[in-house]
Amino acid sequence: MILVKKFSFEAAHNLTKYHGKCEKLHGHTYRLVVKIEGPLNEEEMVMDFVELKKIVEEQVVSKLDHSYLNDMFDQPTTERIAIWIWSQLSKEMEKRGVRLHEIELWETETSGVVYRGEKV
C-alpha cells in the first residue's frame, strides 16, 4: 500500500548555469508530495500521518522553507532539490520499516519532477 502526504515551502533561487529568465533571482511556493510504501502495521496503518509529517518537516521543510536555495545547492534545479530530499528521507523511512516510494516536487502549478531514487 502507498501512503501519500503533501507539504509546501517557500524558497528563492537563481539558476546560474541556465540562460533565460530563471537565471535571475526569483522564488516559488514549492509543493512536495511524499509517497511511502509498506505493509499495514499493528495499528492497520502503513505509517501514522503525524509521524510522517514530523519527519518531513524536520528533515526537509525546516531546512528549505524561506531559504535561498543557492546557499545549499550549486545549481538549485527542481531535479537537484528532489534528489536531496530523497537522500534526506529514504534512510529515515527504512528505519521505520517502510520504503520511500516516490516524491513529487512542483515549483509551479504546472511544472515539477517525479523522483523514485534512480541514479542520475
Catalytic residues: 22, 66, 107
In whole angstroms, what is the distance from residue 12 CA to residue 39 CA?
Answer: 38
Which residues are CB-contacts of 78 (< 8 A; sequence separation ≥ 6)? 105, 106, 107, 111, 112, 113
Distances (CA, A) of 23 to 18, 83, 107: 6, 21, 15
